[in-house]
Amino acid sequence: MRQLIIVGNWKMHKTVTETLEFLVELKEKLSNTAVEVVVSPPFTALAAAAEVLKGSPIALAAQNMHWKKQGAFTGEISSAMLKELGCKYVILGHSERRQYFSETDDHVNKKVKSALESELIPIVCVGESLEQRETGATEATVEKQINGALAGLSPEQAAGIVIAYEPVWAIGTGKTASDEDAQQVNGYIRKVIACRFGNTVAEAVRIQYGGSVKPANAQGLMAQPDIDGALVGGASLKMHDFVGIIQNVL
């Protein structure tokens, strides 16, 4: 049985002060939940967030990292640095990274390997653009992204990762994939994993859905057999909405 995982990706939102205010309240509201809850503040707030979350079941994720452990890469952060700060997860290959920072599947693959070496759990994002959906290229797109990101991993390594299916046209637009469409793609991703790593690995991997998840649509999405949680953007910045999503899927 796969435990649901709800991750709040704050993107470039919230100062350290705002992060602390939010997490103190979130901790009180979620002292006991069957869902795994993760928050992903900006780099600047990770240390403060780790401190305030000590002893709570809420885990911490970073939003990106470089694949090198150290070096002359101005402005970059390594997996070892994130691990030391107390991160459990790192979001990799988000479509905004692919779109605005030219990340490729090869970059994502290097990051996945580096994260695993530092004992961080990668949350690997995949998803098609509107044009790819409209031209019937959704499955081919996610298959290529999965195969690229997970190249060279052992079955044991693959079994521990999290995948987030995020159709690009649904991110921040208010247009959510229907329960059936999201299930269809998540089920396909599980088949791709099974082909590459075997059925046992495919059954273990958690596959989230992301893209305009709200309290009102979370329950229907999470009830699908191949949807094991959500990667939440905008709604994770508002206490009422984020807690609402978590409570609605319990």
Ligand X SMILES: O=C[C@H](O)COP(=O)(O)O
Kindly give, in sequence order, each residue whose CB lies less than 8 Å from that of residue 162, ignoring residues fewer than 6 positions away. 5, 89, 121, 122, 123, 124, 205, 206, 207, 208, 229
Asked if 134 is an active-site residue, the reply is no
**Residue 173 Cβ vs ligand X, minimum distance, rounded to whole Å:** 7
Asked if 66 is an active-site residue, the reply is no
127 known ligand binder: no
Local structure of residue 169 (DSSP, 8 states) = G
Residue with tokens 């919230």: 14
* Residue 172 found at the interface with ligand X (CB under 6 A): yes
Query: What character string, x for contact with ligand X (CB under 6 A) and - otherwise, covers 206-245?
Result: ----xxxx-----------------xxxxx----------
54 known ligand binder: no
Binding to ligand X in span 92-121, by CB under 6 A:
94
From 36, 94, 103, 128, the catalytic residue:
94
229 known ligand binder: no
Lookup: tokens for 52: 């305030």
Local structure of residue 4 (DSSP, 8 states) = P
Q: What is the rounded distance in angstroms from the CA atom of residue 211 to the CA atom of residue 95?
A: 11
* Residue 64 found at the interface with ligand X (CB under 6 A): no
Q: What is the rounded distance in angstroms from the CA atom of residue 30 to the CA atom of residue 73?
A: 38
Find the angle CA(49)-CA(159)-CA(35) to the nearest 5 degrees: 45
**Residue 35 Cβ vs ligand X, minimum distance, rounded to whole Å:** 17
Q: What is the rounded distance in angstroms from the CA atom of residue 102 to the CA atom of residue 96?
A: 9
Residues in the chain, overall count: 250
Local structure of residue 3 (DSSP, 8 states) = P
Nearer to ligand X, 53 or 221 (CB): 221
233 known ligand binder: yes
10 known ligand binder: yes
Q: What is the rounded distance in angstroms from the CA atom of residue 141 to the CA atom of residue 128?
A: 6
Nearer to ligand X, 170 or 201 (CB): 170
* Residue 42 found at the interface with ligand X (CB under 6 A): no
User: Residues interacting with ligand X, by CB under 6 A?
Assistant: 9, 94, 166, 171-172, 210-213, 231-235
Which residues make up each annotated binding site for substrate?
A: 9-11, 172, 212, 233-234
Active site residues per annotation: 94, 166
